[in-house]
Amino acid sequence: MHEDLEKVLFTHDQIHRRIDELADEISRDYQGRELVLVTVLKGAVFFMTHLAESLRIPVRLDFLGIASFSPGRALPGVVRISKDLDQDIQGMDVMVIEDIVDTGLTLRYLLNVLSGRQPNSLVVCTFLDKSTRRLVEIPVRYRGFEIPDRFVVGFGLDYDQRYRTLPCVGILKSQVYQGR
Ligand code: IMP
């Protein structure tokens, strides 16, 4: 275990097994259709890569970058698109791939923007869900794991751009961010 982690919540093997289950479910639900996976940069890239390689339906990949207006997330949910999609999603079946849904404010903004482009369907697939923290209702169609209200890192999730490449998901020791 990495020395900055207090506890490992999900090991690499547990993560991969769960993503395979999700991929089976999604492949069944979208049989005979093509899906556009809209991945929110950067955290969701790890999750998307493993999910996409396990899917048994044709997919197109696209990416959205979002930037917070307020440094340090002082105003959660006040975000803007810093990198837009390359493709037109009108009439397409679209799945937004997120690393974690916390308050839901970021996704509410993104879903509003994307639904205005008139896709045929629009659903959310998130790797982690901190649903006890939700401030706005978000229709999460697929979720990897429900997690407690703790700050986690690994498998794409960062603190200050670090820890993304950890193969597991773990709770970050509070000393790491309190000591700054
Ligand atoms: P929301 O708008 O509150 O749902 O925030 C979602 C974003 O907050 C995620 O995409 C992450 O960037 C970040 N976030 C929330 N909780 C965590 C966490 O425990 N670890 C790392 N990032 C987190």
pLDDT in tens, 23-41: 999 999 999 999 999 999 9
Closest CA to ligand 1's atom 11: 100
Closest CA to ligand 1's atom 5: 102
Q: Determine the pLDDT at residue 76.
A: 62
With the most atoms of ligand 1 within 8 angstroms of its CB, the residue from 5, 102, 177 to mutate is: 102
Mean pLDDT of 81-85: 96
Residues ≥6 apart with Cβ < 8 Å to 85 = 38, 62, 63, 64
Mean pLDDT of 56-84: 83
Tell me how far the alpha carbon of residue 129 lies from the centroid of ligand 1, in angstroms: 10
Residue 73 pLDDT > 60, yes or no? no
On whether the CB atoms of residues 162 and 178 are closer than 8 A, the answer is no
How large is the angle between the packed helices 12-29 and 45-54, nearest 10 degrees?
Answer: 60
Q: Determine the pLDDT at residue 78.
A: 75
On whether the CB atoms of residues 45 and 37 are closer than 8 A, the answer is no
